């Protein structure tokens, strides 16, 4: 598949849009957990930018874990098959667990991860936080507990989201 020119990327959410939405999301999280400590589980690679910006605004004691899943093949559509590249986790029994994702699309990744954690641990709480939510594309019955932006069925790049592994470093979110 051909490279996208950066000039072909149309702005959807600016750096400012993203940062002010993240502050709102952080406020919700701070209100939800209060002073209770929290395990943030970041799903790499897509949620790297969102995670680091989000945790800076959290007020409770936070521990961070990173796992790597992949679902997209090298095209625009989700394969529906989730590949656990690295899902090494500490003991999450009795812990508040917040999964942090870039985007929920078909929902297969979210379902896989929630099922995996429920099967292996008795957490104190388990919630799912996603910056973006593509509700139209959902194939499984899953909803984020906390999310930032609702989006239509567009293929997005930037701020962690890739096209063939490129464009994750673009500071805004755009579509092609
Ligand atoms: P799901 O399993 O279909 O919900 O897909 C979730 C994963 O697919 C996300 O964590 C992203 O990494 C990737 N993804 C979904 N939509 C897009 C997009 O528009 N651009 C880039 N990656 C996407
Ligand atoms: Mg992702």
- Kindly give the distance from the C-alpha atom of residue 36 to the centroid of ligand 1, in angstroms, as a whole number: 30
Give nearest CA residue, ligand 1 atom 16.
105
Which of 105, 108, 115, 140 to mutate to test ligand 1, by most ligand atoms within 8 A of the CB atom? 105
Q: Are 23 and 57 spatial neighbours (Cβ–Cβ below 8 Å)?
A: yes
Flag whether pLDDT at 74 surpasses 70.
no
Q: What are phi and psi of 94, to 5 degrees?
A: 75, 10
- Report the interhelical angle of 15-33 vs 48-55 (nearest 10°): 60
Q: Are 98 and 29 spatial neighbours (Cβ–Cβ below 8 Å)?
A: yes
Three-state DSSP at 102 gives: strand
- Kindly give the distance from the C-alpha atom of residue 145 to the centroid of ligand 1, in angstroms, as a whole number: 17
Quote the pLDDT of residue 113: 96
Flag whether pLDDT at 3 surpasses 80.
no
Mean pLDDT of 33-39: 98
Average pLDDT, the chain: 94
- Active site includes 105? yes
Mean pLDDT of 25-38: 98
**Banded pLDDT at 8 (limits 50, 70, 90):** confident
Quote the pLDDT of residue 76: 65
Quote the pLDDT of residue 75: 60
Q: Which of 86, 105, 133, 141 is catalytic?
A: 105
Q: Is 158 in the pocket of ligand 1 (CB under 6 A)?
A: no
Q: What are phi and psi of 18, to 5 degrees?
A: -65, -50
**Banded pLDDT at 2 (limits 50, 70, 90):** low
Which residues does 38 contact at the CB level (< 8 Å), separation at least 6?
Answer: 29, 58, 60, 61, 62, 63, 96, 97, 98
């Amino acid at each position: 598949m051909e490279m996208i020119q950066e000039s072909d990327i149309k702005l959807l959410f600016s750096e400012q849009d993203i940062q002010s939405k993240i502050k709102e999301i952080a406020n919700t999280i701070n209100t939800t957990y209060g002073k209770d400590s929290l395990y943030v589980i970041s799903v790499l690679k897509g949620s790297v930018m969102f995670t680091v910006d989000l945790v800076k605004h959290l007020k409770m004691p936070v521990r961070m874990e990173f796992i790597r899943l992949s679902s997209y093949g090298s095209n625009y559509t989700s394969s529906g098959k989730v590949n656990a590249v690295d899902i090494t986790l500490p003991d999450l029994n009795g812990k508040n667990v917040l999964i942090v994702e870039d985007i929920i699309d078909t929902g297969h990744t979210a379902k896989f991860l929630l099922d995996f954690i429920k099967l292996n641990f008795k957490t104190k709480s388990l919630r799912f936080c996603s910056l973006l939510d593509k509700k139209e594309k959902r194939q499984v019955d899953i909803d984020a507990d906390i999310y930032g932006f609702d989006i239509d069925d567009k293929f997005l790049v930037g701020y962690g989201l890739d096209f063939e592994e490129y464009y994750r470093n673009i500071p805004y979110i755009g579509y092609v």
